[in-house]
Structure 1
């Protein structure tokens, strides 16, 4: 059994069934992020859980299990936690109001979303429909 600071990091299998279209969407997104499907699903579940736990640091060890490919958390495939982004923004010594701080730490996600929407439109998977009030899947 692999242990990291008292946390069991051995692997266990989980099996789930999703509609084929959903698996294909997840696989495409995982490919875009240069991740395996398992790593993608694990990351998305952990990222989603962060909003539902008081202390998510006790859930996920900070390093990948033995035989892993690096030292970044599976829950943070981009390698920069929100705390890091906040601290980086505040490092200039200036004071930020709530809205300014939100804008500073979410700027990257807006750029990623814009790029993703453009890619999906270029692949003819989605389209913008003013009539339907926004983006729709084809």
Structure 2
């Protein structure tokens, strides 16, 4: 196992107003997530928003948001040696955060919604007013 990556899970405790906890709980339920998963995902998404953009030359297969997998893997491996499992865990956190952010944006734009009845996300059909 890599010396620089600790994979043991630890808990973090925070205090917030009851109304905010209720809002987070409702949002987590709407997304089909546990409260812990919701908070972890939101923190990661927020942290991603504060990272400076990489000023690297464009490559043909780069992600338009600048978070491509190749760059992330090279960044990790430049600091240490990782096993397959360690790399997978390190990059899957990024993917979860990006997926959550994308789903949130699409819901805010009323392009998709979470359907409890259907057990997942669905596209909101546009109606033409005719």
Pick the TM interval, shorter chain.
Answer: 0.3 to 0.5
TM-score w.r.t. structure 2 length?
Answer: 0.46
- Of structures 1 and 2, the one scoring higher in RCO (CA 8 A, sep 6+) is 2
TM-score scaled by structure 1?
0.44
